[in-house]
Amino acid sequence: MAIRFDNRVAIVTGAGGGLGRAHALALAARGAKIVVNDLGGALDGTGGAAASAQKVVSEIKAAGGDAIASAASVTDFAAVEAMVGEAWAKWGRVDILVCNAGILRDKTFAKMELADFRAVLEVHLMGAVHCCKAVWEIMRQQNYGRIVLTSSSSGLFGNFGQSNYAAAKMGLVGLMNALGLEGAKYNVHVNCLAPTAATRMTDTLMPAEVQAAMKPEAVSPAVLAMLHEGAPNRVILNAGANGFERTYVSLTKGVHIPLGPDAPDQVVARFDEISDRNGDLLPQTAGGQGGQELAKAGITRTTRG
């Protein structure tokens, strides 16, 4: 085991089962001390009990590891702060955060209540924000941190009946990009996982043979690769059924169309050229788009923005 996490402290949310449990066990097997966080609620986020988190803690301890349980809801910032405080009090540092907690409230957008849209955003997106905020200053001060946010192909590529889930999951990509930039000088790296796995979220969606191939344990190697000391920063890594891929958000070279009454018509007429991915770029910041557009106009940008 070349990758080790000895003396590292990791918080894994939604770790009472499925992907989170697999991540927590994998980290513990390589030496990390684990906060196993799970509200223990139903798939839609209702209810809650600490039993599922405690069960995983017992598994880790039985294997010789060190772990504590937390039933904090990631939607409750005060509870998240208390969870982080408990980890700090016990071990004196927090090195790793895996934001995995999530719920599902699937419906077509036409039938979806706004309350269900907000609930999914609160758990997936704001839950990750709360957890990141609670560990951010600790990681900055110790000049070390590794964070993995759990995105999804539903957000990256879309999925019917999951507008709330997709919006939250793509929002996490934006959060990763911004935090990765802000954390870089403090050696805090932030990445995104886009997993495909058979969990209770997919029990009714996948046939038995597919579920057998898509074990949560087959995804965890990607998480460990994004959490070790030499981990990348601002990467979207896809994983499932022992397959590993990477998603890029790229920008085509595009065209320059002078402002005029026919500019909209030119955009339509040249849309294939605008869409041509030959030689597309990977901007490192939001300013990359503006810089490319100004370059096509023959202007060299000398000011920030």
> Which residues are catalytically annotated?
165
- Closest by CA to 178, choosing from 134, 137, 234, 126, is 234
Structure tokens at 274: 């605008």
Structure tokens at 176: 């990763």
For residues 303 and 305, give the distance between their C-alpha atoms in angstroms, rounded to a whole number.
7
Angle, CA 10 vertex, CA 5 and CA 16 arms, to 5°? 120
SS3 62: helix
- CB-based burial of residue 274 (10 Å sphere; 0-12 exposed, 13-18 middle, 19+ buried)? middle
Structure tokens at 160: 């019917």
DSSP string over 80-141: HHHHHHHHHHHHS---EEEE-------B-TTT--HHHHHHHHIIIIIHHHHHHHHHHHHHHH
For residues 248 and 156, give the distance between their C-alpha atoms in angstroms, rounded to a whole number.
10
CA-only gyration radius of the chain, Å? 21
SS3 29: helix
> What values do phi and psi take at 274, rounded to 5?
-60, -35
Say if CB 109 and CB 60 are below 8 A apart: no
Angle, CA 9 vertex, CA 7 and CA 11 arms, to 5°? 160
For residues 16 and 14, give the distance between their C-alpha atoms in angstroms, rounded to a whole number.
6
